[in-house]
A and B are shown apart, each in its own frame.
Chain A
Amino acid sequence: MKKLILIPILLCMLNACRTMQEAPAPTINCTSEPVLNDHLASAQLDSLLDAAVSDGLVGGSLLVQSAMNGTFNRAFGYANLQTHQETELCQQYRVASLTKMFTATLTLMLVEEGHFELATRVGEYLDEAQVSGIQDINEITVEELLNHTSGIPNYDDDVRFAPMILNDPGRPISLEQKLQLVRSKGGRVPKWVIKKFGQIYSNTNYLLLQLMIEKTTGKEYAAVLNELIIEPLVLMNTVTSNEEPFPENLAIGYVDFYGNGQIRAVQEWDAYRFDGEGSIISTVNDLQTFFDALLSGQLVSWEMLEQMKNKRLGLLQEEFELENALGHDGIAIGYSAEMWYLPRSQLTVILLSNQGRLVNENWSVLKFENLLRQVIEVAR
């Protein structure tokens, strides 16, 4: 009898003592440009970041650029908790849904080149095999994909998606597999719901935009991104996870997955699942270069930029202390990203972190968003 009880105890002890799978350590080989921190509130911003790290934020990078108050640029916390390696400004992060701004920009560049229009119906442009089974696809336009008014369900809301990730974390999940979740589920969010809420956010919209980009150019999404945005803007530290899932300067991503106050490395979990909806890995400086170029009319015309802002094509609108902002946020497992421009204050804030926002009660959402709001309040 005693022996029987001892078996599970011994198995537990063996398991607790086994060697854990260690996350690969990031190697910092990049050289950051000398940083001019001339923002009038630099000391306050430093204090905010120090307080955030003291309060449990693992690490990240912050870039603030204000036309009136100057620039602030700083990395904070740790890129690897195992080795206590501190973050550098050239540290890369998965930026998740900030990728949608890049995908939207590529789409609008192709619209301006005359390949298709915002009013083009997706089902009529793409091959039938690509879009078969997606309800009402022949009625849905490019514009509706860009501003999340298509009503196409979000593939990662499907009950099968989480087990797909957890069954084999780091397993490649193809664009076609993600579309298959939507096809087999069927259905479309009714128009009245979209009208009521303005938008129904769906990653699937940006998978279809990727297909439009690839069909138009005859090239893969990453190649088009390189050709039209990354190379012209010299974004040296920007890649897609499809090309390079673990670039050498990628900070290790952590998350309190079970909400029990213990965090673990999870940077593999989203390494191979994203496409045009979230695959970009980048730095705050590269993101700033892209955002500046976009908002200064270098990538699309002023007219198109106005449409992008007014119709929320790849840009979300958020209100910070009664001031409207344009930009996007991003959530990958183990990573958080925010990139916003406040036109009235002429302020850009880019905040990246290697701590995920999966839990609703602690760092994940509230504290990270509070930090962003505090930064904006101090910086403008």
Chain B
Amino acid sequence: MKSFLGEVKNFPMKILTIITGLLMSGQLCAQNLFQRAQYAEVGLFVHSFGVPFLGDDFLKFNQLPGISLGTSIPLKTRPNWQTDYRLRISGYMAEGLHSGIHLDNQIVESYRLTDGIRLEGQAGLGYLHTFEDASLFEFDGGTYRPKRDWGRPQVTISIGLGFSFRLGRNSPYWLFAEQQFMIQLPFAGKSGVPMLMHNRHYLGMRREINRKFWSE
């Protein structure tokens, strides 16, 4: 029987996809994101596949472009520390392989170093939908026929480190930079590549929406 995910034939993958989808929609609805959002951000990143810290590959290969949009709500505030939930939507292009649309749920822990500088660490669970950069064919009725690419659903696990920097005293604009490592799975296990590791270098801008959360 074909599910709404149609193309997904791997049962554990379906479960993971459904859980991730439920988590995301639950978060979106329950937290009433727009009312509590503390900032909106736009980021550009360069992206690569590679194993971090083994050789210099992860720096040399970073050449795939991507763009992200995000927002966050505070979950817990303590002196100099803050825990946020952040939602990021990003898209990237890996020419010759695939392009991806990524929805990431992140828990961000930030530390106020000074009034204008924050250090941030992040851990995320996300959903990635990839589209092949090639025509697909499926064997049907004794011959190969072109197949519309509706993409492949996958799960991501990410960690990241970065900082944000206020652009001038009392400015609502913050510059941020971040290094993110991400695992995409399941990738191509039957071809010997069960997961794919991503490295992203982000640079972006944030605009405060509700200053009482972010600037106090």
Contact = CB atoms under 8 A, between A and B. Distances in A.
Given A160-B50, A160-B51, A259-B190, A264 B197 contact: no
A159 B135 contact: no
Given A58-B144, A163-B51, A260-B7, A20 B135 contact: yes
A249 B133 CA distance: 23
A16 B150 contact: yes
A11 B91 contact: yes
Interface string B80-108: 00000000010100111101010100000
B149 interface: yes
B95 A258 contact: no
A15 B197 contact: no
Given A16-B151, A257-B188, A259-B191, A7 B96 contact: no
Contacts of B149: 16, 20
B15 to A, nearest CB: 17
A255 B144 CA distance: 13
Contacts of A163: 48-51, 57, 61, 196-197
B101 A264 contact: no
A366 interface: no
Interface residues of B, number: 54
A264 B49 contact: no
Interface string A47-71: 0000000101010000000000000
A163 B94 CA distance: 12
Contacts, number: 140
A8 B136 contact: no
B207 interface: no
Contacts of B187: 258
Nearest to A269: B96
B97 A166 contact: yes
Interface string B118-146: 00000000000101111111110010101
Contacts of A21: 95-96, 133-134
A322 B146 CA distance: 42
Contacts of A12: 101, 129, 131, 151
B196 A261 contact: no
A319 interface: no
B63 interface: yes
Given A58-B144, A259-B189, A359-B191, A264 B48 contact: no
B189 to A, nearest CB: 7
Contacts of A170: 96
Contacts of A300: none
Given A160-B54, A168-B63, A359-B190, A8 B9 contact: no
Nearest to A359: B190
A8 B89 contact: yes
B55 interface: yes
Contact of B48 (A23, A167, A254): A167
B211 interface: no
A264 B135 CA distance: 6
Contacts of B191: 255, 257-259, 358-359
A: interface residue count bin: 35 or more
A162 B193 contact: yes
B147 A15 contact: no
A144 to B, nearest CB: 26
B93 to A, nearest CB: 10
A43 interface: no
Contact of A358 (B146, B192, B196): B192
Contacts of B63: 168
A254 B137 contact: yes
Contacts of B57: 160, 163-164
B2 interface: no
Interface in A1-45: 1, 4-5, 7-8, 11-12, 15-16, 20-23
A102 B177 CA distance: 52
A263 B137 contact: yes
Contacts of A1: 28, 33-34
Interface in B18-63: 28, 33-34, 48-51, 54-55, 57, 61, 63
B148 interface: yes
B137 A264 contact: yes
10 contacts: A12-B131, A21-B133, A163-B196, A167-B50, A257-B188, A258-B187, A259-B191, A260-B10, A264-B134, A358-B192
Given A263-B144, A264-B136, 13 more contacts: A7-B89, A20-B135, A21-B96, A23-B134, A81-B137, A162-B193, A164-B61, A166-B193, A184-B55, A258-B191, A263-B136, A264-B137, A269-B96
